[in-house]
């Protein structure tokens, strides 16, 4: 679905972020990316989307034969980026309109999805009126409407209270299973990563030279109590101590 082959990336201002980094993502996987603040997680997403280009190495997307990555993934950036002057329905229609669809047809497609995404009744509201969780749903719906099978979600639930977060996680798993998409999910929340993922990519070192790949030994469907199994508690400990050692280095 996605591969990084010996990818290096340096910001023009001189920050060397990735150095000879390789990893693979298989179709249908749910991958969480964790790493301390500033380690390069959002940078990896910008490279996948094609908003930035690597200084060396190759990024391959299954959906793209011509090495043109722009517009080939559904991307939910770290901020929700809803347009304040467009209603929720108009915001959700944006990717379809950008793709050249007639406005009326776009509305017809989006209306049933608003319901499915728990946004029924908000279609004529402006973003300012919505709660953080609802805004994140609109941003997620917009990423899904891009029609791309690979979704990049950058800390989508970081602004939510603990209870809302749990219900959004379950909602996300349902959406992911229903749509059979492939998800890359950035989070600082280890329990969230353990609950959601097939595999976790832990970014270490600066610049990032490799990802530490952690397979989650749980089937699906999962319940919260699975996180209390001894092997999961050990895994959590291991992840926490690795992240901690990164912070103190």
Ligand X SMILES: Nc1ncnc2c1ncn2[C@@H]1O[C@H](COP(=O)(O)OP(=O)(O)OP(=O)(O)O)[C@@H](O)[C@H]1O
User: Which residues lie near ligand X (CB under 6 A)?
Assistant: 11, 13, 15, 17, 35, 37-43, 78
| Interaction between residue 43 and Mg ion (CB under 5 A) | no
Q: Which is nearer to ligand X, 77 or 127 (CB)?
A: 77
Write down the least CB distance from residue 160 to ligand X, Å.
16
Exposure letters 100-132 (e unless 16+ CB within 10 A, then b) = eeeeeebbeebeeebeebebeebbeebbeebee
Which residues does 180 contact at the CB level (< 8 Å), separation at least 6?
A: 28, 149
| Interaction between residue 158 and Mg ion (CB under 5 A) | no
Nearest to 111 by CA among 102, 122, 99, 127: 122
| Cα angle 182, 32, 142; round to 5 | 50
Q: Which is nearer to ligand X, 78 or 87 (CB)?
A: 78
Q: Which is nearer to ligand X, 12 or 225 (CB)?
A: 12
| Interaction between residue 42 and Mg ion (CB under 5 A) | yes
Look up residue 127 and give its DSSP letter. Answer: G
Q: Which is nearer to ligand X, 14 or 230 (CB)?
A: 14
Write down the least CB distance from residue 38 to ligand X, Å.
4
Binding site residues, Mg ion, CB under 5 A: 41-42
């Amino acid at each position: 679905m996605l591969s990084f082959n010996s990818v290096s990336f340096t910001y023009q201002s001189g920050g060397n972020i990735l150095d000879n980094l390789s990893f693979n993502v298989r179709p249908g996987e749910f991958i969480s990316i964790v790493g301390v603040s500033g380690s390069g997680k959002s940078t990896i997403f910008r490279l996948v989307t094609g908003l930035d280009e690597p200084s060396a190495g190759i990024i391959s997307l299954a959906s793209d034969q011509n090495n043109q990555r722009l517009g080939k993934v559904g991307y939910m950036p770290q901020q929700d980026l809803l347009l304040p002057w467009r209603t929720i329905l108009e915001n959700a229609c944006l990717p379809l309109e950008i793709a050249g669809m007639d406005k009326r047809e776009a509305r017809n497609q989006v209306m049933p999805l608003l319901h499915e995404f728990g946004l029924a009744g908000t279609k004529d509201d402006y973003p300012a009126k919505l709660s953080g969780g609802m805004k994140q749903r609109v941003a997620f719906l917009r990423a899904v409407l891009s029609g791309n099978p690979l979704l990049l979600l950058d800390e989508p639930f970081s602004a939510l209270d603990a209870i809302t977060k749990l219900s959004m996680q379950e909602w996300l798993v349902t959406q992911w299973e229903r749509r059979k998409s492939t998800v890359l999910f950035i989070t600082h929340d280890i329990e969230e990563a353990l609950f959601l993922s097939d595999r976790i990519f832990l970014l270490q070192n600066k610049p990032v030279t490799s990802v530490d790949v952690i397979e989650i030994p749980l089937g699906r469907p999962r319940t919260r109590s699975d996180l209390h199994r001894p092997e999961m508690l050990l895994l959590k400990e291991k992840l926490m101590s690795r992240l901690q050692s990164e912070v103190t280095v």
